[in-house]
């Protein structure tokens, strides 16, 4: 990397680049066009050129970097694994991208307090592996967990298949060291609960890096389950399958995960992985129960009974750990498998009340058809979090326009049913056009007042989350192609 | 009166009678006016008018926690939320409900219970408190072990601000990452940034079976080390226990619940809940962990008795009389039992009771009013030495003079900035919150 660095492409940043180089070393400050292009996009569809990238090595360097960037008064964009799908880390207003790639230390694990403190760049799965020998886990498990960071998970309030039973990232963050735009660090929350004052920790989680940059994060750990059972229920209609979700939710059984896939999704992942999903089913539920053996066995019994009552045509309980792992591997790699259905696809993220899933999924099908698009839908059904993938061929002239139009209509349906325009991917830049459909000017005005307390000059991750008059981003070369769940 | 007429009918408040002044007085201060809006728009209009007139407003639900906080510097208008009473939406098959802030918690729970569900909060004053008051004061109870606190259960909110803005955050679905979670900032903000008018809540299924087990140490041994090992062991298993409470003998005597024989002396009370086979396993594990530490286990409540006893456990932290001092200390989770032990020793005769799996200890010292500030200073220093906090939940009004019931906060500049940004006229609860805000 070092030989690639040169003088900053952006004007006015060369003094800062020199200052940063003195802190982190010249080969950890990137400013040549090739390197910058690598930091111009995330896992989504938007891109914007970076001006400067800095890669601090440890907490001391991060503090010095933040102080220098604060003094320079330029925009700053924190970047974790770059796995987000909403463009929340693209440097759409220039400035300095602060990469957490090397801030990967697990600062402490305190099993007696059921907590760990980690640097923001610690990868989700890395933390999981580190605490597993203690019988503990960090519950949030976004599908990107092999690459996404705790800092990124925190900034975006990441979800995942297992949030149904354990909650999203916000429920597992106890505190953080937050660097503000001027370089000041504040320690929020901590080991002791219920700190007096406003709950700034909860406010900062999910703020998409617009309040500050989390250098270290205090996370909650929970005991690992002693038993796990996984089953697949097959249905001959999407409607029956979706109705079964509501029945399970109301039954009082809380599965650890309750995922739904439609026939297009099933065929794609089965062709890619041969995990054993039934390609003849119109829809399936992937249901997992976790906990103590008794909870898992009685929960499984109840779920099987509910599925049968809801009209499931076949039930299959994973007989071995290998079979279970295969089902999940296929599910988590479903993004890549979509490539078998169409040259391009666009993954959406919306939420609806769980009792409305049958109507909402019917509406999704209808909207896709009206725009001459195929759709493959996957849902964190237990949370009402739908991920329709609109399938298309970008060689067709108007394809992207049709995808965008259909996407907006689908999110409007989510809102019409009382839901949300994003359950876990975030607003980023992707959904700036949709924000005003969900929030009024007054709602946004209050949020902006809050933001301005943390970041009065709006230098932290500018251009994200809040709709602004002009958009500064462009679709990059891979547009709408490789997005995955 | 229609909303339109109410809004156009001049001042949105009335003078208070002598009786009302007595009822609404807090810390020896009585308001000159009171308002009882019937809709969120009326709350916003009242706040805007009060802010313009320079009146200091104290929002009030059922009035059960008016003594929480520092002495207000001004108190002109009592804004009562009792007219904002309705469960606006309830979707049992989505486990979500939306309610106006003045809705009595007990009434909402009764509705949810008809569908085998509940809002998993079991705070003090549960019989009388409102949903809005519970959230504004961030009240919780024994079940916080399993379900978390209000911030984990609030999905969205509508809030009225002093400039008359009515604004929402969050959503009415269980998963949502659009916009800032402003609603979580209002949890525990004591109505100092805005008045909560409507909340969307995540509900949970009521467990099929509940039991409470008491783990009792032998009387001739110092019990706390053994109790700590029981708690530590249970927390490392994925049992899904409802609650683990630790209390000394004095706290046990406060559990005046008809029909229960709570063993005398220091003990643990463990709430087992779930499917009957799950409860059976939980009880086995509790018994095993207790026996290994030399404690004996006894089942002391089943069925409806469990809810009554857990309510009593929450209520044991509520002040029983005007001048009673209630201290809430929070410490890192693993230090809960040692902290309880030190407090019980340092405060002879005081009931001391802990959410043993959450790092929260309440102590109710028998202390003369004049001695409260010194005791608070000493214990706060001790708590902070452990990385924790001490908040005075209640004390004699006279004891609050010269006392900061909250103690230091993190990021005071941000805290002050939020107040200045959202309540620049210091209309809401002036002086009552942290940092003299």
pLDDT tens-digit series, residues B98-116:
999 999 999 999 999 999 9
Q: How confident is the model at residue A45 (pLDDT cuts 50, 70, 90)?
A: confident
Residues of A in contact with B383 (CB under 8 A): 192
Q: Mutating which of B231, B390, B414, B433 best tests the A interface, going by the most A Cβ atoms within 10 A?
A: B414
Grade residue A332 by pLDDT with cuts at 50, 70 and 90.
confident
Interface predicted TM-score (ipTM): 0.96
A297–B168 C-beta distance less than 8 A: no
Per-residue pLDDT tens over the stretch A99-148: 999 999 999 999 999 999 999 999 999 999 999 999 999 999 998 999 99
A254 to chain B, any CB pair closer than 8 A? The answer is yes
A421 contacts B178? CB cut-off 8 A: yes
pLDDT over threshold 60, residue A32? yes
Contacts 24+ apart (CB under 8 A), A429-432: A429/A46, A429/A86, A429/A87, A429/A88, A429/A90, A429/A92, A429/A463, A429/A464, A429/A471, A429/A473, A430/A44, A430/A45, A430/A46, A430/A85, A430/A86, A430/A87, A431/A86, A431/B178, A432/A464, A432/A465, A432/A466, A432/A467, A432/A468, A432/A471
Given pLDDT bands bounded at 50, 70 and 90, which one contains residue A469?
low
Its pTM stands at 0.95
Q: What is the pLDDT of residue A160?
A: 87
Average pLDDT over residues B319-339: 95
> Tens of pLDDT along B232-277?
999 999 999 999 999 999 999 888 666 678 888 899 999 999 999 9
Mean pLDDT of B210-221: 89
**How confident is the model over B408-428, as pLDDT tens digits?**
999 999 999 999 999 999 999
pLDDT at B9: 52
Percent share of chain A, pLDDT over 70: 94
Whether residues B237 and A226 touch (CB distance < 8 A) is answered with yes
Chain A CB contacts of B328 below 8 Å: 194
Q: Percent of chain B having pLDDT more than 70? A: 96
Q: How far apart are CA A121 and CA A137, in angstroms?
A: 18
| Cross-chain CB nearest to B278 (options A191, A292, A445) | A292
Q: Is the pLDDT at A7 greater than 60, yes or no?
A: no
Give the minimum alpha-carbon distance from B57 to chain A in angstroms, rounded to a whole number: 19
A384 touches chain B (CB under 8 A): yes
The structure tokens 């403190």 sit at: A117
B93 contact residues in A (CB cutoff 8 A)? 246-247, 249-250, 354-355
Q: Which residue of A has its CA nearest to B421?
A: A449
pLDDT of residue A340: 86
Is the Cβ pair A192, B359 closer than 8 Å?
A: yes
Q: Do B422 and A200 touch (CB under 8 A)?
A: no
Residue among A249, A299, A423 minimizing CB distance to B93:
A249
For residue B413, the chain A residues in CB contact (below 8 A) are 186
The larger pLDDT score, comparing residue B198 to residue A160, is at B198
The whole-number pLDDT of residue B357 equals: 97
Least confident of A168-177, A475-484, B127-136: A475-484
Chain B's closest residue to A172, CA to CA, is B152
Identify the band that residue A11 occupies on the pLDDT scale cut at 50, 70 and 90: low
CA-to-CA separations, B33 to A125, B9, B78, B235, in angstroms, rounded: 58, 16, 6, 50
Q: What ranges make up the beta strands (E) of A221-360?
A: 222-223, 227-235, 257-262, 283-291, 314-317, 344-347, 350-351
Task: Name the residue of chain B whose CA is nearest to A203's CA.
Answer: B181
- Share above pLDDT 90 across residues of chain B, in percent, rounded to a whole number: 90
Confidence of residue A478 (pLDDT cuts 50, 70, 90): very low
pLDDT above 90 (res B223): no
When CB atoms are compared, the residue of A200, A207, A292 closest to B414 is A200
Residue A5: is its pLDDT beyond 60? no
| Distance to chain A for B15, nearest Cα, Å | 32
> What residues contact residue A6 under an 8 Å CB cut-off, 6+ apart?
A31, A32
Residue of A nearest to B205 (CA): A252
A153 touches chain B (CB under 8 A): no
Residue B327 predicted with pLDDT over 50: yes
Please state whether A415 falls in left (phi above 0), alpha (psi between -120 and 50) or beta. Answer: alpha
CA angle B145, B151, B155 (to 5 degrees): 120
Residues 461-480 of A with CB under 8 A from B: 465
pLDDT for the residue numbered A468: 76
Cα distance between residue B396 and residue B369, in whole Å: 6
Residue with the larger pLDDT of the pair B49 and B11: B49
Q: Cα distance from B174 to chain A (closest Cα, Å)?
A: 6
Please say whether the beta carbons of A33 and A144 come within 8 A: no
Place of tokens 């297992």: A162
Q: What does the pLDDT average to over B184-198? A: 98
Could you tell me how many CB contacts below 8 A there are between chain A and chain B? 278
In whole angstroms, what is the distance from residue B328 CA to residue B317 CA? 9
> Band of the pLDDT at B321, cuts 50, 70, 90?
confident
User: B409: which chain A residues are within 8 Å (Cβ-Cβ)?
Assistant: 195-197
Asked if the model's pLDDT at residue B215 lies above 50, the reply is yes
Do B359 and B387 contact (CB within 8 A), yes or no? Answer: no
């Amino acid at each position: 990397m070092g030989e690639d660095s040169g003088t900053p492409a952006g004007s006015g940043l060369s003094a800062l680049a020199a200052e940063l180089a003195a802190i982190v070393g010249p080969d950890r400050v990137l400013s040549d066009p090739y390197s910058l292009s690598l930091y111009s996009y995330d896992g989504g569809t938007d891109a914007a050129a970076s001006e400067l990238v800095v890669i601090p090595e440890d907490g001391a360097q991060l503090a010095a970097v933040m102080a220098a960037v604060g003094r320079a008064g330029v925009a700053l964009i924190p970047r974790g694994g770059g796995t987000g799908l909403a463009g929340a880390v693209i440097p759409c207003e220039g400035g300095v991208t602060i990469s957490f790639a090397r801030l990967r230390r697990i600062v402490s694990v305190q099993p007696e307090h059921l907590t760990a403190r980690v640097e923001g760049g610690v990868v989700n799965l890395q933390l999981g592996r580190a605490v597993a020998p203690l019988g503990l886990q960090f519950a949030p498990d976004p599908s990107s967990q092999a690459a996404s960071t705790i800092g990124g998970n925190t900034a975006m309030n990441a979800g995942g298949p297992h949030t149904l039973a354990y909650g999203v990232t916000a429920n597992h963050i106890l505190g953080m060291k937050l660097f503000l735009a001027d370089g000041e660090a504040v320690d929020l929350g901590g080991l002791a609960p219920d700190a007096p004052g406003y709950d700034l920790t909860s406010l900062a989680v999910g703020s998409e890096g617009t309040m500050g940059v989390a250098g270290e994060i205090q996370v909650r750990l929970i005991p690992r389950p002693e038993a796990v059972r996984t089953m697949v229920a097959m249905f001959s209609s999407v409607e029956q399958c979706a109705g079964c979700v509501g029945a399970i939710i109301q039954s009082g059984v809380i599965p650890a995960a309750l995922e739904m896939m439609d026939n297009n999704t099933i065929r794609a992942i089965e062709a890619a992985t041969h995990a054993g999903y039934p390609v003849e089913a119109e829809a399936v539920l992937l249901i997992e129960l976790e906990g103590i053996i008794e909870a898992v066995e009685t929960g499984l019994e109840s779920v099987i009974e509910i599925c049968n009552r809801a009209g499931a045509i076949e039930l299959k309980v994973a007989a071995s750990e290998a079979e279970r792992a295969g089902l999940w591997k296929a599910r988590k790699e479903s993004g890549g498998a979509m490539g078998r259905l169409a040259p391009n696809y666009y993954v959406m993220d919306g939420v609806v009340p769980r009792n409305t899933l049958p109507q909402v999924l019917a509406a999704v099908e209808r909207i896709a058809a009206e725009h001459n698009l195929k759709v493959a839908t996957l849902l964190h059904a237990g949370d009402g979090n739908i991920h329709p993938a609109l399938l298309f061929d970008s060689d067709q002239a108007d394809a992207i326009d049709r995808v965008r139009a259909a996407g907006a209509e689908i999110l409007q349906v989510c809102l019409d049913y009382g839901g949300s325009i994003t359950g876990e991917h975030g607003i980023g830049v992707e959904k700036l056009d949709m924000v005003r459909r969900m929030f009024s000017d007054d709602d946004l005005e209050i949020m902006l007042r809050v933001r301005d307390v943390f970041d009065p000059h709006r230098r932290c991750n500018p251009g994200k989350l809040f709709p602004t008059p002009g958009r500064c981003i462009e679709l990059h070369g891979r547009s709408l192609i490789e997005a995955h769940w | 009166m229609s909303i339109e007429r109410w809004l156009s009918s001049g001042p949105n408040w009335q003078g208070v009678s002598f009786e009302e002044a007595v009822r609404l007085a807090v810390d020896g201060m009585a308001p000159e006016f009171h308002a009882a809006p019937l809709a969120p728009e009326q709350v916003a209009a009242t706040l805007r008018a009060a802010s313009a007139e320079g009146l200091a407003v104290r929002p009030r639900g059922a009035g059960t926690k008016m003594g929480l906080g520092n002495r207000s510097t001004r108190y002109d208008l009592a804004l009562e939320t009792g007219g904002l009473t309705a469960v606006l939406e309830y979707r049992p098959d989505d486990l979500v409900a939306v309610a106006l802030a003045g809705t009595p918690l007990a009434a909402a729970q009764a509705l949810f219970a008809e569908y085998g569900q509940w809002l998993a909060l079991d705070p003090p004053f549960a019989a009388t408190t409102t949903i809005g008051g519970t959230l504004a004061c961030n009240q919780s109870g024994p079940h916080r072990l399993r379900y978390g606190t209000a911030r984990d259960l609030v999905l969205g909110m509508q809030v009225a601000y002093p400039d008359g803005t009515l604004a929402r955050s969050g959503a009415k679905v269980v998963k949502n990452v659009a916009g800032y979670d402003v609603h979580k900032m209002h949890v525990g903000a004591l109505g100092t940034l805005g008045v909560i008018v409507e909340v969307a809540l995540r509900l949970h299924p009521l467990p099929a079976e509940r039991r409470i087990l008491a783990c009792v140490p032998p009387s001739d041994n110092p019990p706390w080390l053994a109790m700590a090992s029981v708690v530590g062991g249970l927390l490392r298993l994925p049992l899904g226990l409802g609650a683990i409470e630790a209390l000394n003998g004095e706290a046990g005597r406060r559990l005046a619940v008809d029909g229960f024989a709570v063993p005398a002396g220091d003990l643990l009370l463990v709430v087992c809940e779930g499917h009957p086979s799950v409860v059976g396993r939980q009880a086995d594990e509790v018994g095993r962990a207790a026996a290994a530490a030399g404690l004996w286990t006894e089942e002391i409540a089943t069925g409806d008795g469990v809810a009554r006893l857990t309510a009593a456990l929450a209520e044991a932290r509520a002040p029983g009389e005007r001048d009673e001092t209630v201290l809430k200390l929070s410490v890192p989770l693993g230090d809960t039992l040692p902290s309880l032990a030190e407090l019980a020793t340092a405060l002879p005769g005081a009931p001391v009771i802990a959410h043993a799996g959450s790092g929260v200890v309440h102590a109710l010292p028998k202390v003369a009013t004049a001695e409260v500030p010194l005791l608070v200073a000493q214990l706060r220093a001790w708590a902070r030495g452990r990385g924790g906090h001490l908040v005075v939940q209640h004390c004699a009004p006279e004891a609050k003079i010269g006392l900061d019931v909250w103690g230091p906060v993190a990021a005071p500049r941000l805290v002050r900035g939020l107040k200045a940004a959202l309540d620049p006229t210091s209309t809401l609860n002036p002086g009552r919150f942290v940092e003299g805000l």
